[in-house]
A and B are shown apart, each in its own frame.
Chain A
Amino acid sequence: MIPELAPAKACAAKVLIADDEPNIVVSLEFMMKREGFEVLVARDGRAALEAIRRERPRLVLLDATMPGMSGFDVCEAVRADADVRSTCIVMLTAKGRETDMARGVGAGADAYVTKPFSTRDLVQQVKDMLAKDTAARALATGSAGAGELPKDMPA
């Protein structure tokens, strides 16, 4: 169904879509742009990591199975890098086993979404996550004055 059109310009957050399947990138890119996000696209894990470090997106929609560097690897690398550690990561994956999910969360994904999924739910989830992230950031800068964020944000 049609996601509600949120006040787009107000939260023109930068979002990275990392997936090697062009067929899904087409839709996700189209939708996120419509939702008012600034959208970047990476076709494999290595490009995704580079884009994260260069562009500092607020949130990444990360496919788990990509050639070269897998989504899990990217996730681990991001969490290990102090500069980009606070990036929100939503893993989108075709790997549906419990063990895969445990690995994704263990590697540091904020949410683990198994394909196929409803795009409306995904957009809602992304928005909630960013809102929470903004609130936490404000709280953190307010109370401790540090940019550190709680990592285990519930999806």
Chain B
Amino acid sequence: MSPEAYRVRGPSAVGGDVRRFWNLARTLAATDWKVRFYGSALGYVWSLLRPLMLFGIIYFVFSYVLDAGAGVAHYGVLLLLAIILYFFFSEVTGSGVTSMVDRESLLRKVGFPRAVVPLSVALVAAMNLALNLVVLAIFVVASGVQPRWTWLLLPIPIALMLVFATGVAMLLSALYVRYRDVRPIWDVVLQALFYATPILYPIEIVLARYETLAKIQLLNPLAAIIQESRHLLTGAPSPAAVLDSTALLAVPLGILVGVTWLGFRVFDRMAPRAAEEL
């Protein structure tokens, strides 16, 4: 019995074989993960210990030294949650930009669905995110936040963040293959996003002084996701409450879907020629 003949269609973004796609993304992510702690005595322990110490410092400085919380309940924990989510976004998109170029040798030597590359970057960041959330749980318990049933809904904004970050990473990595200026531009954009998003400061402060500004801020999907997570964690004002309208939530959601779709489209168009243009 001879095996089925099939047509060679050249490289694509996703390709037909879902299992192979997943196997490759998983293997590349695991490799990156291993290399990250290569040569350190404590190895993986660092992936928990480092955020623990880092968050301890941030928590201490902002809650006690700077007292930036302005009386918002559990400000320290909310700060850490926002920082963790922002770190994730910045890791996926920041290493995503150069991911295709970094994997050049692989792309030029093996035919595989090209989207594996940005996706593996997102997977590594997701592992990091998971560990950071474990560390966050320690702070949540230690600072005495009352358990709420809304915690069960936290995976939703986190999943949205995953999708959004991956979409942006696909867009940037595809553009970077042709235009190397994308990286410095994105570095600046990431910095701007950090301050434009209620991370270091609670949205309540902005809301009290410039209500319109607070509303505009929350049209940014990154801010909306972070604020929604804060809301689910401690009952801080939800994006819908700040915007004073549930319907307006369609704007950040629309941007999220639009950018993700655009990222996929641009990547899909670039994928067949990635190997020759690198």
Q: Do A and B come from one complex?
A: no
